[in-house]
Chains A and B, each alone.
Chain A
Amino acid sequence: EVQLVESGGGLVQPGGSLRLSCVASGFTFSYYSMSWVRQAPGRGLEWVAILNQDGSDTHYVDSVKGRFTISRDNAKNSLFLQMNSLRAEDTAVYYCARDRQLYRWGQGTLVTVSS
């Protein structure tokens, strides 16, 4: 069974940084691209970033380009999202999801950007 478990969320001040992690199991992690998707409180879904299988190709939504970096460690079945220069509008639950078509999602981790 595909399982994705996110961690690393928390409260951070505007301008601060946070690193999210997602550990995958139940499938061959290195075979799939991986995505991050976020959901602001009471709002809809917004895709954030994607990384291909070997980490050589990335895409980001414009609002996070230059501030967020997606990466992975295939030996540890792990996906990461380094978030710098955080803004209040980055406050959201962040989900990792398998592949470009978002086959399966984790339970999410809450990031709150506030002073």
Chain B
Amino acid sequence: DVVMTQSPLSLPVTLGQPASISCRSSESLVYSDGKTYLNWFQQRPGQSPRRLIYKVSNRDSGVPDRFSGSGSGTDFTLKISRVEAEDVGIYYCMQGTHWPLTFGGGTKLEIK
């Protein structure tokens, strides 16, 4: 199985400051169609997960533009340009290229 490794585990951030989460995969996530199926999800406290970013860098509808994704191959990053109070929660990366689909262990973002 493809192992997804996220860091850090915990991310205390001051309001208005940037935040960055790293996600590394044990294998390349480039699919046979040439696309890279790396997605990012946000899970706010007490809520279902919500997809933020798909195929590395594409924001889902309704996702604020302070969220951005980047990376290639096995190394990916989610960035929040200016953290707001509503961003508190756990962030997961997930690969949709190989079976079984696998998630990173999560990064808990909190306000410092």
Number of interface residues of A (CB under 8 A): 21
Q: Which residues of chain A from 53 to 98 have a CB within 8 Å of any chain B CB?
A: 59-62, 95
B17 beta carbon closer than 8 Å to chain A: no
Which of A45, A50, A59, A95: most chain B Cβ within 10 A? A45
Q: Which residue of B lies closest to A108 (CB)?
A: B48
Q: Which residue of B lies closest to A105 (CB)?
A: B48
B100 beta carbon closer than 8 Å to chain A: yes
B contact residues around A95 at 8 Å (CB): 48-49
State in angstroms the CA–CA spacing of A47 and B101 once bound together. Answer: 6
B54 beta carbon closer than 8 Å to chain A: yes
A41 beta carbon closer than 8 Å to chain B: no
- Contacting pair A44 B39 (CB below 8 A): no
Choose from A45, A62, A101 the contact partner of B49 (Cβ within 8 Å).
A45
Number of residue pairs A-B, CB distance < 8 angstroms? 56
Which of A50, A101, A107, A108: most chain B Cβ within 10 A? A101
Q: Which residue of A lies closest to B102 (CB)?
A: A47
Which of B39, B96, B106: most chain A Cβ within 10 A? B96
- Contacting pair B41 A102 (CB below 8 A): yes
State in angstroms the CA–CA spacing of A108 and B50 once bound together. Answer: 12
9 A-B pairs closest in CB distance: A47-B101, A105-B48, A45-B103, A61-B100, A101-B96, A44-B106, A59-B99, A100-B96, A44-B105
Interface residues, chain A, CB within 8 Å of chain B?
35, 37, 44-47, 50, 59-62, 95, 100-108
Interface residues, chain B, CB within 8 Å of chain A?
37, 39, 41, 43, 48-51, 54-55, 60, 90, 92, 94, 96, 99-106
Q: List 26 A-B contacts (CB under 8 A).
A: A37-B49, A44-B90, A44-B104, A44-B106, A45-B43, A47-B101, A47-B102, A47-B103, A61-B100, A62-B100, A95-B49, A100-B37, A100-B101, A101-B37, A101-B39, A101-B54, A101-B55, A102-B96, A102-B101, A103-B54, A104-B51, A105-B48, A105-B49, A105-B50, A105-B51, A107-B48
